[in-house]
């Protein structure tokens, strides 16, 4: 028998043995994540404010069945799912009220946090209700907080997550840019205000990405996914000022399914 035939025979026997023993091929990353528990932490961008279809017992946290954590678990069936993200959450409130569901068996964690630490809602209120100078000053103050106090707050939160879920893959998601500059909006904020807000989003994402990397976590930006779907794009996946007011400047259901879910899925 030739060497080639001997090798072919050995390979065939190996495949037959593997089939008989039920040996599986390499698991995908999503399969591995789904094999353990998934915990969704964070603020309104993770709870799904603005996406509607809120879970009745979630109260003011407004957890939505259209939010990316709920959509991911529905598609991947993790062994357990704890959806504790809450509207208005800061890094400190995530640490104090959401981490109790983490454990050594948690295999996957997602989190958005940081926007409320720097007064996101107050900035947008100043920009909508006041003049350009007041808006830009408010944005600049938020950027100063991003650079000065936020890094330490993120480090504290990420350290607490790691200590409670030592084996978990942790995916930190960022925030979208709000505006398409030179877009279709003919009223509302000035172009200078929109540019300042976009720049603040970039700074915030940069700070979060750096702290996540230093913690050994995976950072996933959503900026690319939302490009072409910002406010003033003509096909916005974000609410502008709307009623109920808490939906303002949050992703619609399309922003969760078309923006956040793919960004999360690509990181898992």
User: Which residues share a beta bridge with 64?
Assistant: 54
Element containing residue 32 per DSSP (H, E)? helix 29-34
Which parts of the chain are beta strand (E)? 37-40, 80-83, 106-111, 169-173, 218-220
Q: How far apart are CA 134 and CA 139, in angstroms?
A: 9
Tokens encoding 88: 């208005």
Q: Is 24 exposed, middle or buried (0-12, 13-18, 19+ CB in 10 A)?
A: exposed
Catalytic residue list contains 47: no
- Do residues 68 and 130 touch, judged by C-beta distance below 8 A? no
Query: Dmax over Cα atoms in the chain, in whole Å?
Result: 88
CB 161 within 8 A of CB 211: no
For the chain, the 3-state helix, strand and coil shares in percent, each to the nearest 5, are 55, 10, 35
* DSSP for 116-136, written as a single string: TTTTHHHHHHHHHHS-HHHHH
Closest CA to 59 of 114, 92, 97: 97
Query: Is position 44 annotated as part of the catalytic site?
Result: yes
Which residue among the candidates 44, 47, 138, 153 is catalytic per the annotation? 44
Question: CA-CA distance, 55 to 72, in Å (whole number)?
Answer: 16
In degrees, to the nearest 5, what angle opens at C-alpha 268 toward C-alphas 65 and 165? 85
Task: State the catalytic residue, choosing from 47, 107, 239, 250.
Answer: 250
Residues marked as catalytic: 44, 250
């Amino acid at each position: 028998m030739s060497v080639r035939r001997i090798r072919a025979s050995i390979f065939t026997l190996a495949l037959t043995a593997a089939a008989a023993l039920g040996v599986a091929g390499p698991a995908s990353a999503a399969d591995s994540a789904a094999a353990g528990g998934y915990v969704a932490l964070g603020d309104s961008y993770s709870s799904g404010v603005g996406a509607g279809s809120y879970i009745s017992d979630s109260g003011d946290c407004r957890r939505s069945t259209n939010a990316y954590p709920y959509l991911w678990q529905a598609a991947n069936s993790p062994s357990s799912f704890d959806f504790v993200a809450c509207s208005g959450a800061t890094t400190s409130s995530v640490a104090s009220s959401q981490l109790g569901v983490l454990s050594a068996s948690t295999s996957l964690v997602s989190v958005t946090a940081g926007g409320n630490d720097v007064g996101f809602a107050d900035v947008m209120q100043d920009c909508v209700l006041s003049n350009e100078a007041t808006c830009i000053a408010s944005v600049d103050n938020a950027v100063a907080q991003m650079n000065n106090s936020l890094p330490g707050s993120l480090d504290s939160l990420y350290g607490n997550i790691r200590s409670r879920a030592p084996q978990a893959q942790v995916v930190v998601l960022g925030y979208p840019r709000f505006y398409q500059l030179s877009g279709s909006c003919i009223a509302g904020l000035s172009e200078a205000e929109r540019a300042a807000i976009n720049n603040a989003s970039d700074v915030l994402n940069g700070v979060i990405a750096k702290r996540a990397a230093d913690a050994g976590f995976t950072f996933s930006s959503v900026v690319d996914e939302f490009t072409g779907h910002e406010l003033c794009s003509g096909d916005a996946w974000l609410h502008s000022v709307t009623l109920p007011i808490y939906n303002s400047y949050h992703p619609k259901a399309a922003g969760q399914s078309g923006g956040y879910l793919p960004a999360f899925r690509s990181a898992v």
